[in-house]
Amino acid sequence: MTIIDGKQTAETIMREISREVSAMTAQGERPPHLVAVLVGDNPASVTYVGNKVKACLRCGFKSSVVNLPADIDEDTLLSKIEALNNDETVDGFIVQLPLPPQISERKVIEMIDYRKDIDGFSPVNVGRMALGLTGLYAATPSGILELFRRYNINTEGANCVVIGRSNIVGRPMAELMMQKALPGNATVTVCHSRSRDIKKYCRDADIIIAAIGQPGFVKADMVKDGAVVIDVGITRVDDSSQPKGYRLCGDVDFENVAPKCSFITPVPGGVGPMTIVSLMRNTLFAAKSYRQS
């Protein structure tokens, strides 16, 4: 049984990116520039933005944070986004979610130029991924694909069960796993809240990707021997014994499931760091593919 080290893999990739950036700047090009838009001061959002800024530093990117007040009105935010779309010194940006209730997340996402849409949430990028075209792909699924690649996990013809059908993980994950490529070429089943007997699908699976947001949902009796288990869940569970007052729980009952697996990702330190590194790869892609010289 191998515990997949997402943290270490992410470090390796950031070093690779950093080398590419050095080569860019040696040729007189600007380094990639990522902007994070932070509305209000939700503590989790502040942490996430901080992690992205740190990753930019590691990769040799320029980064900026645009802080906006929590009571900003929608039109003002949309005009800020338009300004970022038109700013030639910005290669890409992220609007940290969730947004305050007076703002339509959908409108904000649709306003972002697809060439700067580092999260890969805009319809154009969702469509390009589904069609197998190059573009900015959703970060978590492409981070998981990179783990399969780096750990030489063969997905060809595998029975892959994705639990969860969210727009940012479950659905794009399924698209990537069924693509005509490697990693890919898997037979993919998507289970969700309306599925009957998820256990049955999981028991037959060679690969389980759990993205349902229910701590410990995947139990040992749902996993066959030798399966690959990828845990996307990351829920804060109250725990007064921890310094922060909570601990992070995945969707998999790691302790009991791990012994049955060929490969498994831990939480934290599995999928999470790969998500951030995918955002870095997207920023580099945007700088190389879409920058107006």
Q: Positive or negative, the Cα torsion across 290, 110, 65, 170? A: negative
Strand partners, 246: 238
For its own copies, the closer of residues 36 and 202 by Cβ is 202
Residue 157: CB minimum distance to its own copies, A:
5
**Cβ neighbours of residue 179 closer than 8 Å, sequence gap 6 or more:** 132, 185
Smaller CB separation from its own copies, 17 or 190: 190
Nearest approach, Cβ of residue 10 and its own copies (Å)? 27
> Which one from 91, 113, 117, 119 is the annotated catalytic residue?
119
- Site for its own copies (CB under 8 A): which residue of 52, 80, 116, 171? 171
Residue 167 interacting with its own copies (CB under 8 A): yes
52 catalytic? Reply is yes
Task: For its own copies, give the closer residue by CB, 63 or 140.
Answer: 140
Binders of its own copies among 194-233, rule CB under 8 A?
194-196, 201
Residue 178 interacting with its own copies (CB under 8 A): yes
Nearest-CA neighbor of 141 among 122, 116, 167, 115?
A: 167
d(CA 117, CA 39): 17
Q: How far is the CB of 174 from its own copies (least distance, A)?
A: 7
Exposed e or buried b per residue across 166-193, where buried means at least 16 C-beta atoms within 10 angstroms of its C-beta? bebbbbbbbbbbbbeeebbbbebbbbee
State the Cα–Cα distance between residues 252 and 232, nearest whole angstrom.
9
Binding residue for its own copies, selected from 9, 63, 96, 125, defined by CB under 8 A: 125
Stretch that binds its own copies, among 3-11, 78-86, 157-165, 262-270 (CB under 8 A): 157-165
Among the candidate windows 16-24, 169-177, 257-265, 270-278, which touches its own copies by CB under 8 A? 169-177
**Number of Cα atoms under 13 Å in the Cβ half of residue 276:** 25
CA angle 221, 177, 219 (to 5 degrees): 15
Binding interface with its own copies (CB under 8 A): 106, 122-128, 130-133, 135, 156-157, 159, 165, 167, 171, 174-175, 178, 180, 185-192, 194-196, 201
Q: Which residues are catalytic?
A: 52, 96, 119
